[in-house]
Amino acid sequence: MTSTSSPLFEPFQAGGLHLANRIVMAPLTRNRSPNAVPGPLGVEYYRQRASAGLIVTEATAISHQGQGYVDVPGLYAPEQLEGWRRVTDAVHAAGGRIVVQLWHVGRVSHRELQPGGGAPVAPSAITAKTKTALKRDGRVVFEPTAEPRALALEEIPAIVEDYRRAARAAVSEAGFDGVEIHAANGYLVDQFLKTGANHRTDAYGGPIEHRARFLLEVTQAVADAAGAPRTGIRLSPVTPANDIVDADPQPLYDHVMRRLGPMGLAYVHVIEGATGGARALPERPFDYDAMRRAWRETERPGSRGAWMVNNGLDRALAEAALARGADLVAFGRPYIANPDLVQRLRTGAPLNTPVRETFYGGGAEGYTDYPTLEAATA
C-alpha cells in the first residue's frame, strides 16, 4: 500500500473553484457526441470520474466554425447546452466539480465539418500538416486537414464574441463551475500566437505583442462572461502537436503570462513538453519556472490562481511537481481506463490499461465499462 499522506489528496482553492483534491482530469477527446450533442453515455462517463478534484471536459466547440473533428460536442445550440446540463447535474450530484474547455480548432479541420462546406479559418492560409477525424461507414477515420483561408481583420471580433457567448452559456445555462480556454496544441488561439502558423502583418501578426492580442482579447471576453475566478487557460509552449511551432517561445510566453497575471484567473494549465509525448524536448528548451514567475509577479493581488501541470504524470512525478511549486496536477490517459483514479493513486492500486482501439468513437466499450476497484473486488 502507498501512503495516503500526500498533498495530492488535500483540498485546494483555485480562484473561485473549491476542489476536494489537487488531481485534475485533463480534457480527452473521445468522439462520442453525435450531432455535437452530449448524450447519456457522456453523462455516465463524467459521473464515474467525479472524484477528481476537478474535471476539465473534452474540448468543446464554441461555434459550428470551431468544429474540427466528427462527433465532438458543442456549446452553440440549445440541445448541446441541455446535454451538458445533464452531465453537470450528474457530476455535482456525485460531489464533483467540472469546467468545460472552450475550443475553436482554426485550421485543424475539414470542409466536411465546416458550415456550408467552406474552408477552415486560420490566422494565415497555411495548411497544417496533421489529420482530423471524420466518419466513414460508421467508423471514425483520420484524414488530412483542409487548406484554410486567412481570417479577415473584420472577422476576428465576431470570433471573440463567440467565445464570450459560449462562456456565458456554459455557466448560466449548462451549469458548469467554470470554463477553460483551449489555447494549446496548435488550435486557433495557439495559431495566432506562434510564428509557424501566423504570418499576418496587421495588428494580429508580427511582433509578440500583436501575436498575443487574440489570446488576450479572448481571455478578457471569457473572464468577463464567466468571471475571472472561474476561468482557466491551457497553454503548450513547445509542443509540436498539429504542426505548430514558434521561433522563440520563451519571450512569447513570458509576455503572455505578464499580461494574464492581472486578470485574476482561476488557473493556468501548462502542458510540459510534447502533448502525449516526451516531457523534455532538447531541441526546444524552455524554462517553465520562468514562465510561472512571470505570472506570479504580475498576478492580481489576492487572486492566487493555481498553476496546473500536465503531461505523462504518475504519482511520483505529480508529487515532485507539487514540491517544485505546482498547485494542481492533471492526468489525461490514465483517466480513460481508471474512473476511480484518485482512489487508485491514494492506495497504490494497479491501474487498468486503456484500450487504444476504443479511444475515438464507438459506444460504451472502452468508455464507460472500465472496472473500478470496488467492482473488481465485489
Which among 187, 267, 288, 370 is annotated as catalytic?
Answer: 187
Planar angle of CA 38, 43, 45, nearest 5 degrees: 105
Alpha-carbon dihedral sign for residues 228, 65, 125, 360: positive
Q: Is 21 exposed, middle or buried (0-12, 13-18, 19+ CB in 10 A)?
A: buried
**Known catalytic residue: 69?**
no
Q: Grid coordinates in use for 377?
A: 473486488
CA distance 356 to 337: 10
- 259: nearest Cα among 295, 293, 226, 231: 295
Q: Are 307 and 270 in contact (CB under 8 A)?
A: yes
CA distance 218 to 184: 13
Q: Quickly list DSSP for 258-272.
A: HHHGGG--SEEEEE-
- The residue count of the chain comes to 378
Q: Is 4 exposed, middle or buried (0-12, 13-18, 19+ CB in 10 A)?
A: exposed
Classify 61 in phi/psi space as left (phi over 0), alpha (psi -120 to 50) or beta.
beta
Q: Which residues are catalytic?
A: 187
